[in-house]
């Protein structure tokens, strides 16, 4: 497992208590309780491949590996698996996608990666050039709208690797929750080096085992936590995402934290919000709060590495956008750090 995790999905029940679950691999969901179980992604139901910028028409749909790389040659991986059959009738509390690492070369100590929802369908292919998914094409004869894969800019999950890591895990709760509600929009994920996506270079490369790997134990795996608790008290009814993912050390960047309520409603009145800064980030200050694009009234105060807000919210589902400034550390690389949010009504 990585020593730093960068997913910031809120795992809080809005009624002021936290859910603790134990991983029970292979267990079937039981109604009336919270269930966590793991699903191995088999090649019979999973599509995965990798695409290469310098070889834009090559297809690697039958390779037993997936590659993410950022140097003179940028490589990205794509993976798609069905979720509606797994989560139908359930509320998704959490979903984590884990890859087994084959090889890892890390430049300057860490490799920050991000997973993004793909926005267009694609075909896996069987390794034939100019056929199926590649850097330029998503299907034979059909190009991506954006070369390298058309994807949602806001990451669905993140992970940061260091030398010696044997697995990479992405918290993709927001993506699986979205696909559960919108199964026709499940085109899978694009996995890329986070610094490559923002135009910098750091010579990182990782190879994962794909679903075509002979040893099933090395296949990608999806860990799900599900409940049949009514949606208005479910833990996944609130999730968060932050932009930008990468900030410059020694500066005071402006960040936007988006807090989404997708299933239940916020409830009339005040929503209390706490954001804990990563180590070395200090003096946070809020400059604006909006709800579904309209300004919201709020009060805020900072205390050490914490930012506290009391926000007036209407009794509907929707999206809070909290804009704040913070001093980034001068010596530590802030890419992939955890911003830990907590919300309650």
Contacts of 320 (CB under 8 A, 6+ apart): 258, 259, 260, 271, 273, 289, 290, 291, 296, 311, 313
Residues carrying CATH 2.60.40.740, the chain: 247-344
Res 145 pLDDT > 50: yes
Q: Are 186 and 80 in contact (CB under 8 A)?
A: yes
Res 77 pLDDT > 90: yes
Of 23-27, 127-131, 163-167, which one has max mean pLDDT? 163-167
What pLDDT score does 135 carry? Answer: 97
Task: Assign 80 a pLDDT band (cuts: 50, 70, 90).
Answer: very high
* Topology classification of domain 247-344: Immunoglobulin-like (2.60.40)
- The answer to whether the pTM exceeds 0.75 is no
Res 25 pLDDT > 50: no
Interatomic CA distance for residues 328 and 245, integer angstroms: 13
What pLDDT score does 311 carry? Answer: 83
Task: Assign 130 a pLDDT band (cuts: 50, 70, 90).
Answer: confident
Question: How large is the average pLDDT for residues 110-122?
Answer: 93
Strand order in the sheet with 340-344: 298-303, 306-313, 269-276, 340-344
Picking from 26-35, 41-50, 63-72, 219-228, which range would have the lowest pLDDT averaged per residue?
Answer: 26-35
Identify the residue whose tokens are 């691999």. Answer: 25
């Amino acid at each position: 497992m990585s020593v730093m995790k960068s997913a910031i999905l809120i795992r809080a029940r809005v009624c002021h208590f936290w859910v603790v679950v134990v991983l029970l691999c292979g267990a079937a969901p039981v109604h009336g309780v919270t269930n966590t179980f793991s699903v191995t992604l088999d090649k019979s139901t999973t599509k995965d491949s990798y695409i290469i910028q310098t070889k834009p028409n090559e297809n690697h749909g039958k390779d037993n590996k997936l590659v993410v790389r950022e140097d003179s040659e940028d490589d990205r991986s794509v993976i798609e698996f069905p979720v509606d059959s797994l989560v139908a009738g359930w509320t998704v509390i959490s979903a984590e996608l884990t890859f087994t690492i084959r090889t890892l070369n890390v430049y300057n100590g860490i490799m920050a990666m991000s997973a993004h929802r793909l926005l267009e369908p694609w075909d896996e292919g069987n390794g034939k050039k100019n056929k199926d998914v590649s850097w330029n094409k998503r299907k034979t004869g059909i190009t991506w709208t954006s070369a390298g894969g058309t994807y949602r800019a806001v990451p669905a999950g993140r992970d940061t690797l260091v030398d010696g890591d044997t697995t990479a895990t992405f918290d993709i709760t927001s993506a699986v929750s979205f696909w559960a509600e919108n199964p026709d929009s499940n085109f899978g994920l694009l996995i890329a080096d986070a610094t490559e996506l923002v135009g910098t270079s750091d010579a990182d490369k990782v190879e994962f085992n794909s679903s075509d790997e002979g040893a099933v134990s090395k296949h990608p795996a999806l860990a799900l936590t599900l409940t049949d608790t009514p949606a208005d008290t479910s833990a996944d009814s609130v999730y968060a995402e932050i932009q930008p993912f990468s900030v410059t050390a020694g500066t005071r960047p402006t960040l936007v934290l988006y807090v989404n309520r997708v299933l239940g409603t916020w409830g009339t009145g005040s929503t209390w919000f706490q954001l804990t800064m990563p180590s070395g980030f200090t003096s946070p200050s809020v400059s604006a709060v909006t709800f579904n694009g309209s300004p919201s009234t709020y009060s805020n105060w900072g205390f050490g590495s914490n930012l506290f807000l009391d926000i007036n919210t209407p009794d509907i589902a929707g999206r809070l956008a909290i804009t704040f400034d913070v001093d980034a550390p001068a010596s530590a690389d802030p890419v992939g750090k955890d911003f830990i949010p907590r919300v309650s009504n």
